[in-house]
Amino acid sequence: MSDTKLSLDFKGLLCPMPVVKLAKAIKEIQVGETLEAVATDPGVMADIPAWTRSTGHELVSLDKREDKTFKFVVKRVK
């Protein structure tokens, strides 16, 4: 995605680190900008949507890919 401001590597990270690192990273971009991350922990399929619901940020996409990694894009809303 061309308008993504930040690309993060969460591979190998287990709970709670994906959301901990996501919370830090979201502060590094401006409101309206997006970041993307790739993770290997299947727990992100449930936890990233839960995190965006709790924080009010927008989950643009979340996909399980062929190589068993999970890619998600989050937009900073506030």
* Residue whose token pair is 């997006």: 34
Instruction: Determine which residue in the list 7, 9, 20, 58 makes contact with other proteins, applying CB under 8 A.
Output: 20
Give, in degrees to the nearest 5, the angle at Cα 71 between 73 and 12. Answer: 125
Compute how many residues bind other proteins; rule: CB under 8 A: 14
C-alpha–C-alpha distance, residues 52 and 26, integer Å: 11
Active site residue 5: no
Question: Going residue by residue from 22 to 51, which x/- string records binding to other proteins, judged by CB under 8 A?
Answer: xxx--------------------------x
Residues catalogued as catalytic: 15
